[in-house]
């Protein structure tokens, strides 16, 4: 099931301008093998958030967490011109 098809309404639903401009750049992570949240959704979000960066990972879905605490992960994020904090 895609997230967009979940029945419960979001408590913190964003009702503002869909072409949002954030204070800081946003890193959007899309996984090519994630069956629940398709890569196309990550691409759409990146196109909506001005200045955002899309990182495409060719790994099974929900496998980003183990990488998030590694020093290599921080270096990757810095290499994209972003603050890993």
Q: Does 84 score more than 70 pLDDT?
A: no
Q: How far does the chain reach from its first CA to its final CA, in angstroms?
A: 32
Q: Give the per-residue pLDDT at 20.
A: 67
In Å, what is the CA distance from 55 to each residue of 12, 28, 31, 35, 75? Answer: 25, 6, 8, 17, 14
Domain residues of the chain, as ranges?
Answer: 21-79
pLDDT single digits (tens) 35-81: 777 888 899 988 888 888 898 887 765 555 555 566 677 777 777 77
Mean pLDDT of 13-24: 73
What's the distance, CA 3 to chain centroid?
13
Highest average pLDDT, of 6-15, 19-28, 36-45, 55-64, comes from: 36-45
Confidence class of residue 12 from pLDDT cuts 50, 70 and 90?
confident
């Amino acid at each position: 099931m895609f997230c967009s098809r979940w029945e419960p309404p979001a408590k913190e639903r964003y009702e503002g301008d869909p072409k949002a401009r954030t204070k800081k750049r946003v890193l959007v992570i899309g996984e090519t093998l994630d069956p629940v949240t398709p890569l196309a959704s990550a691409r759409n979000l990146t196109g909506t958030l001005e200045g955002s960066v899309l990182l495409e990972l060719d790994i099974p879905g929900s496998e980003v967490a183990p990488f998030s605490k590694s020093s290599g992960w921080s270096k990757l994020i810095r290499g994209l011109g972003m603050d890993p904090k």
